[in-house]
């Protein structure tokens, strides 16, 4: 018998809108001003200079593409897996910055100025990660049950 998805249709839709919308908004701000984003990454003091530059140019486009994939349900599982990994990495970086007492901007939504406390950014990142995990699990179960419907019993 096919397994039921873990989320209701409404929860699934709301989760995808929230996750996809948040990452699309974050990506747009950073695509607009990659120099400021590069500066934000530098302030974490975690990466070498060249990696910082590459990430400041590449990451916003990856976020935008994954957000679009989640919202349109194309390559959805791949996008959710990537967003989940990004949330884990962001949370680790924010935790590191917080423990080291750095007074910096998250860099999550561009801007360059230190406005949102790191703890709030961390909680937000963790929350989005949980949403990505639940959606990925639901999408994977749905994909498996679709396969079972097709394969000979």
Partner 1 sequence: MKSAVPLGREITLLLVLAALPALLSAWLHPRRPVLSWSKPAVEQVTLAQVDSWKASVLWVDAREAGAYARGHIPGAFSLNETEWERLLHALMQAREPNHRIVVYCDSERCNASEEVALRLRRELNVEAVFVLQGGWTAWRQNQR
* Contacting positions for partner 1 (CB under 8 A): 31-36, 38-39, 42, 49-50, 53, 56-58, 61-62, 64-66, 69, 75-79, 81-82, 111-115, 140, 142-143, 146-147, 149-150
- Smallest distance, partner 1 to C-beta of residue 119, A: 20
**Considering beta carbons, is residue 8 or 144 the nearer one to partner 1?**
144
Triad 132, 25, 47: Cα angle to 5°? 75
- Smallest distance, partner 1 to C-beta of residue 32, A: 7
Assign 3-state DSSP to the chain and report helix, strand, coil percentages, each to 5. Answer: 75, 0, 25
Q: Check: CB of residue 79 under 8 Å from CB of residue 66.
A: yes
- Smallest distance, partner 1 to C-beta of residue 81, A: 6
Q: Check: CB of residue 86 under 8 Å from CB of residue 19.
A: no
**Chain-centroid distance, C-alpha 83:** 4
- Smallest distance, partner 1 to C-beta of residue 125, A: 20
**Considering beta carbons, is residue 71 or 95 the nearer one to partner 1?**
71
**Considering beta carbons, is residue 9 or 95 the nearer one to partner 1?**
9
- Smallest distance, partner 1 to C-beta of residue 14, A: 20
**Considering beta carbons, is residue 125 or 142 the nearer one to partner 1?**
142
Give the burial class of 98: count Cβ atoms within 10 A of its Cβ; 0-12 exposed, 13-18 middle, 19 or more buried.
middle
**Could you give the 3-state DSSP secondary structure of residue 108?**
coil
């Amino acid at each position: 018998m096919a397994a039921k998805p873990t989320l209701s249709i409404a929860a699934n839709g709301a989760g995808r809108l929230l996750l996809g919308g948040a990452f699309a908004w974050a990506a747009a701000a950073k695509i607009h001003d990659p120099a400021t984003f590069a500066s934000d990454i530098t302030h974490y003091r975690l990466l070498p200079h060249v990696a910082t530059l590459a990430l400041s140019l590449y990451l916003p486009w990856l976020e935008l593409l994954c957000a679009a994939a989640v919202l349109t349900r194309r390559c959805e599982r791949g996008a959710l897996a990537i967003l989940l990994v990004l949330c884990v990495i962001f949370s680790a970086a924010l935790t590191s910055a917080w423990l080291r007492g750095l007074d910096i901007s998250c860099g999550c939504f561009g801007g360059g100025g230190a406005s949102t406390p790191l703890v709030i950014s961390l909680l937000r990142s963790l929350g989005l990660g949980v949403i990505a995990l639940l959606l990925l699990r639901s999408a994977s179960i749905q994909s498996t049950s679709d396969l079972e419907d097709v394969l000979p019993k």
